[in-house]
Amino acid sequence: MPLDAPDMISGEEGLAGEGASDMGEHRRSEYDAAFERAAARASQRLVVILQEQKEVETSLAELLREPPSRRTELVRTEERFHRLKLCELLEARARELWSEDPSEVAALTELAVQVAERLNPARYGERLVQDVRAVAWAHLGNAYRIASDLRRAEEALRRSLEHHLRAGEDASTEAEILSFLASLRNSQGRFEEAARLLDRVIEVYRTGKERHQEGRAMIQKGLALGYGGQHGKAIRLIRSGLSRIDLHREPRLAVAAWHNLVVYLTESGRHREALETLEKHHQLYLEHGDQMHLVRFSWLKGMITRDLGRLEEAEAALREARDAFIARDIGFDAALVSLDLAMVYALRGDHGQVKRLAAEMVPIFESRDVHQEAIAALLIFKQAAEAERVSVDLLGRIAAWLQRSRRDPDARFEVEN
């Protein structure tokens, strides 16, 4: 279970050029022009933001005190909320909550779009307004993706690209939109397309000599390659990206990157190296991660120690992760970690514990965000447990199907027991 980089055409390239190909003179000229437009836009934006800063901070505090319906009404009816800086503050607040509160992230980014759509071109200039709208719709698309609403995410990102074209296509906005679009393609299982989009993102940041952002995009591409089963390339690219990022600028990105590196080490069969790397960076999780990072740390540690045969240690870690997911109503992940826990019991030959776990699972997940086909899969597990016919192979196939169904809720359950 890799972590998204807090926003994430693979060939046989070496690390020196991995992630982006060399540019021809024509392409370089296009990017130079794009960066000139971006620099001019950034200068214009800075002047406006400095003028609005104090007023807008007060407005944001007022909005956040209100329930979502009242926030919308205020933005719709009162011109004082129609400020460029307010969009940026709402988006920044949403980024802080990406891994903690998906519903609030969606509410904040929807509000940012409402503000952006009401900006006055006479005050800011038409191109700057279109650029702000492009960024706001991109953040909304990412919020929908985080909430697993992939159809609405696709539509929001399409709207973002339309505004980007009207704005004059500045390079930094293009890179931000494509980064969000690549994350959506990962969620849709379109990993090669995600990697190709990120080649463009890497190229933009490399050309602009934005080393941290280049590293961020390389880590995100590593995630796409890992999802696609190219674990060796993913490991190399994530390590290379980690060498470029500034830990102090974006510490949670480092947490996600190290976590994903350990995932791909594990999936490559390098379990001892994976566990050593995970434990070495435990302090990073404690100092810079959030509560969900720590829950996923326990889940990953439980999986690795299970595969190393340290079953008592694995059981404790997996139980901790399972209970945390259930407490937060994160049904899919709770179901998956429950299957990992069942594997521990199956390896022990403890049919009684497998039966108890199976009996607990179905009623818990029927009331949570697990769709009916997933419930059907869990019922197969329950029936097999009651007949003492649960195997590690069956559990692995059910878990793989659950992962696939998360990307495609219309998928039909076809695992044979």
Q: Considering only 95-104, 294-303, 321-330, which range has the smallest mean pLDDT?
A: 95-104
Residue 351 maps to a domain: yes
Nearest to 6 by CA among 213, 155, 200: 213
Residue 258 maps to a domain: no
Domain end: 190, 211, 232, which one? 211
Q: What is the pLDDT of residues 391-416, one digit of tens each?
A: 888 888 888 877 776 666 666 666 55
pLDDT classification of 386: cutoffs 50, 70, 90? confident
The proportion of the chain whose per-residue pLDDT surpasses 70, expressed as a percent, equals 82
| Same domain, residue pair 204 and 301 | no
pLDDT at 25: 57
| Same domain, residue pair 324 and 179 | no
| Res 185 pLDDT > 50 | yes
Of residues 8 and 160, the one with the higher pLDDT is 160
Instruction: Report the distance separating Cα 128 and Cα 52, nearest Å.
Output: 15
Instruction: Report the distance separating Cα 409 and Cα 200, nearest Å.
Output: 30
pLDDT at 21: 44
For residue 359, give the 3-state DSSP assignment: helix
pLDDT classification of 17: cutoffs 50, 70, 90? very low
pLDDT classification of 368: cutoffs 50, 70, 90? low
Residue 60 belongs to domain spanning: 1-211
| Same domain, residue pair 37 and 170 | yes
Q: What is the pLDDT of residues 252-300, one digit of tens each?
A: 999 999 999 999 999 999 999 999 999 999 999 999 988 889 999 999 9
Question: In sequence order, what are the residues at sequence separation of 6 or more whose Cβ sits closer than 8 angstroms to the Cβ of residue 271?
Answer: 265, 304, 307, 308
Q: What mean pLDDT is predicted for residues 31-39?
A: 65
| Same domain, residue pair 160 and 304 | no
**E-strand stretches of 155-311:** none
| Same domain, residue pair 13 and 140 | yes
| Same domain, residue pair 36 and 180 | yes
| Res 52 pLDDT > 60 | yes
pLDDT at 46: 60
Q: How many domains does the chain have?
A: 2
Domain end: 196, 211, 226, which one? 211
Residue 377 maps to a domain: yes
User: What is the average pLDDT score of the chain?
Assistant: 86
pLDDT at 301: 98
pLDDT at 16: 33
Q: What is the pLDDT of residues 310-324, one digit of tens each?
A: 999 999 999 999 999
Instruction: Report the distance separating Cα 353 and Cα 341, nearest Å.
Output: 10
- Cα 170 to the chain's mean position, in Å? 24
Instruction: Report the distance separating Cα 242 and Cα 215, nearest Å.
Output: 6
Nearest to 220 by CA among 241, 190, 189, 249: 241
Residue 217 maps to a domain: no
pLDDT classification of 169: cutoffs 50, 70, 90? confident
pLDDT at 272: 97
Q: What is the pLDDT of residues 205-263, one digit of tens each?
A: 999 999 999 999 999 999 999 999 999 999 999 999 999 999 999 999 999 999 999 99
Q: What is the pLDDT of residues 110-133, one digit of tens each?
A: 999 999 999 999 888 899 999 999
Q: What is the pLDDT of residues 343-359, one digit of tens each?
A: 999 999 998 998 988 88
Question: In sequence order, what are the residues at sequence separation of 6 or more whose Cβ sits closer than 8 angstroms to the Cβ of residue 59?
Answer: 80, 81, 83, 86
- Residue 310 phi, psi dihedral angles, 5° rounding: -95, 75
pLDDT at 9: 28
CATH number of the domain where residue 102 is located? 1.25.40
Domain end: 184, 211, 238, which one? 211
pLDDT at 28: 59
CA distances from 70 to 62, 65, 107, 140, 203 (A): 11, 10, 12, 19, 43
pLDDT classification of 373: cutoffs 50, 70, 90? low
Nearest to 242 by CA among 229, 255, 226: 255
| Res 417 pLDDT > 50 | no
Q: Is the pTM of this model over 0.85?
A: no
pLDDT at 22: 45
pLDDT classification of 366: cutoffs 50, 70, 90? low
Of residues 230 and 38, the one with the higher pLDDT is 230
